[in-house]
Amino acid sequence: MQTHKDEQTNTTQANGKQNMEGMKMGSSVTKPQLFAMTLLTLFVLVTGVVLGGVFGDGTFNYTMRARDMSGLVMPPGMIRGVNPSVENMKDMAAVDSSKATYTAPANARGDQPLVPQVVNGVKVFNLEVSLIKWNILHDVQVTAYAFNRQVPGPRIRITQGDRVRMIVKNDLPEETSVHWHGLTVPNAMDGPAGITQKPIAPGQSFTYEFTVTQWGTYFYHSHTNADRQEALGMYGALLIDPRNASQAPAYDQEALIQLGEWTVENGYTFPAMPMTGLEPNYFTINGKAYPATETINLKVGQRLLVRFMGTNSVAIHPMHIHGGPFKIVATDGNPVPSAAQIEKDTVDVGPGERYDVIWPARMPGKWLLHCHINHHTTNNNVEENGAGGLTVIINVTA
């Protein structure tokens, strides 16, 4: 002990001497002491994190694997370092498929025309939102939030100047509301829950009514927890023809390309989000991933009007068509003057955006329409029949 004490004293003295000689150092800690303190600090930190993860309440849970959190199933690999609230977790949790009230046939198609009833000159559309099981591929089923039991929701086609009434019935196990994306409507008809209206409670209905002044490619979607509800399929096309038909671009056939992203893990459907654990692994056009997407059939010389629609919520998709360029004739529903109609073969379609393009069928063959983020043309990283996800074949015959 004496020796040890002497050593300490000596060291301290030596240290003091050093400090006297070099005041700029400003420290009386020896390297061995610093090393010991660093080791101790690291030990305490690592022990805290490990014990917290094993015995804690999730505060330090870095290994969450689709496990129950207050009855919610959370995405695998998700890192939440801060005490998450149940509200925070709910938004990201897997859809409870036991609450689905309908299973669509595996080959069912979304975007089916919705025929209105005309009441005193008003076009009345009935939309019903519910939880359904929906096949995005023959062997991949998701649990979706769907309008009228289809993904995307039914196609609403109206004419500029129409008075419309949209009756939305909520059969979801949670609140919702609907927004008419891009339309100029009275504020109270705009849809953001908690801002312009009370959310529509489960079992309740809300009626939206307005006169349509614009024309072009629009869509409708959820505006209550939209990051969850729209990502899970709550969107549909709203196509408005001009009052004066000659204003519309000339075309022989039209194709809607409504983009979707899905996160399917361990048999659970999670809302696709740009965050750890929720990045999508399946991608759909009109509710289906290639090879389940619908082939477009054309003859040489015909013009195809493609309406690209950013109904998705995660990525900007560079949409590309093989077999020559297309002309952009409208953006976000607004016609592009002919002098400004640039030709491109790839157009970035961001969430919320629409691009109407005219693609002429120049030569016979199978021409691809696909996203050029190549991962988006796979199904859970795998190609099937030469592609996957955001791919459609345009089959041109002589």
Positions touching Cu ion (CB under 5 A) are 317, 371, 373, 376
The residue (of 336 and 373) whose beta carbon lies closer to Cu ion is 373
The residue (of 181 and 317) whose beta carbon lies closer to Cu ion is 317
The residue (of 193 and 371) whose beta carbon lies closer to Cu ion is 371
Rounded to a whole number of angstroms, the minimum distance from the CB of residue 331 to Cu ion is: 19
Other CB atoms closer than 10 Å to residue 63's CB: what's the count? Answer: 12
For the chain, the distance separating the N- and C-terminal CA atoms, rounded to the nearest angstrom, is 100
The residue (of 66 and 285) whose beta carbon lies closer to Cu ion is 285
Burial class (CB in 10 A: 0-12, 13-18, 19+), 22: exposed
Rounded to a whole number of angstroms, the minimum distance from the CB of residue 141 to Cu ion is: 22
Query: What whole-number distance in Å separates Cα of residue 329 and Cα of residue 308?
Result: 12
Query: What whole-number distance in Å separates Cα of residue 336 and Cα of residue 200?
Result: 37
Rounded to a whole number of angstroms, the minimum distance from the CB of residue 389 to Cu ion is: 8
Rounded to a whole number of angstroms, the minimum distance from the CB of residue 290 to Cu ion is: 12
Contact 237, 111 (CB under 8 A): yes
Query: What whole-number distance in Å separates Cα of residue 169 and Cα of residue 101?
Result: 14
Rounded to a whole number of angstroms, the minimum distance from the CB of residue 257 to Cu ion is: 11
Q: Between vectors from CA 224 to CA 218 and to CA 228, what angle results, nearest 5°?
A: 90
348 beta partners: 318
**Is the Cα dihedral 54, 56, 57, 58 positive or negative?**
negative
Residue whose pair of structure tokens reads 């729209």 in the numeric block: 230
CA distances from 20 to 16, 32, 97 (A): 6, 20, 73
Rounded to a whole number of angstroms, the minimum distance from the CB of residue 274 to Cu ion is: 13
Query: What whole-number distance in Å separates Cα of residue 193 and Cα of residue 202?
Result: 14
Residue whose pair of structure tokens reads 């359904």 in the numeric block: 132
Rounded to a whole number of angstroms, the minimum distance from the CB of residue 140 to Cu ion is: 18
Radius of gyration of the chain (CA): 29
DSSP letter assigned to residue 197: B
The residue (of 108 and 373) whose beta carbon lies closer to Cu ion is 373
Rounded to a whole number of angstroms, the minimum distance from the CB of residue 258 to Cu ion is: 13
The residue (of 176 and 391) whose beta carbon lies closer to Cu ion is 391
Q: Between vectors from CA 284 to CA 305 and to CA 75, what angle results, nearest 5°?
A: 155
